[in-house]
């Protein structure tokens, strides 16, 4: 252990199955083993790809708003995001939500926010909103 702080806005923590934690480069296409802990600063909806739905088939995803406020939209896998098939959850600073495995979801910001997510990223996909 070298005792060096990690900037979680530019790197991620990977929680490995054997009980170790590594610091890694942030990337969307991670197919590595282990849970990823990532923190994102978002000023606008574009920073949280609000024009796309996201899904994680490998795990639930824990999402937390550390600073700010955001709306988390959820939809079932068989729908295509029609407004009547969506559920919105408002998350204020200090609150979190567990997005179930295989549940499409996306964020919209109510204010600039710092968000944290924890999930297995392997197989994660994005789908453009229609």
Is 23 inside a domain boundary?
yes
- Torsion angle of C-alpha atoms 3, 7, 10, 16, degrees rounded to 10: 50
Which pLDDT score, from 0 to 100, does residue 33 have?
Answer: 77
Q: Which CATH number characterizes residue 116's domain?
A: 2.60.120.10
| pLDDT tens track for 38-63 | 999 999 999 999 999 999 999 999 99
Structural domain containing residue 71: 11-128
Long-range CB contacts (< 8 A, 24+ apart) of 83-86? none
Lowest mean pLDDT among 24-33, 93-102, 108-117, 118-127: 24-33
Is 67 inside a domain boundary?
yes
| pLDDT tens track for 15-35 | 998 999 999 988 765 566 789
- What is the count of structural domains for the chain? 1
* CA atoms within 13 A of residue 64's CA, in its CB half-sphere: 11
Is 3 inside a domain boundary?
no
pTM beyond 0.95: no
H or E element at residue 102 = none
Neighbours of 65 (CB within 10 A): 25
């Amino acid at each position: 252990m070298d005792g060096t702080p990690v900037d979680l806005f530019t790197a991620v923590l990977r929680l490995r199955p054997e009980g170790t934690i590594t610091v890694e480069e942030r990337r969307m296409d991670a197919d590595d083993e282990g849970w990823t802990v990532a923190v994102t600063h978002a000023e606008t909806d574009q920073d949280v790809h609000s024009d796309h739905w996201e899904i994680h088939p490998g795990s639930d995803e824990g999402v937390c708003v550390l600073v700010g406020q955001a709306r988390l939209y959820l939809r079932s896998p068989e729908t295509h995001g029609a407004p009547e098939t969506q559920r919105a959850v408002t998350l204020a600073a200090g609150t979190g939500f567990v997005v179930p495995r295989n549940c499409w979801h996306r964020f919209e910001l109510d204010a600039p926010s710092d968000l944290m997510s924890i999930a297995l990223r392997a197989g994660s996909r994005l789908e453009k909103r229609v």
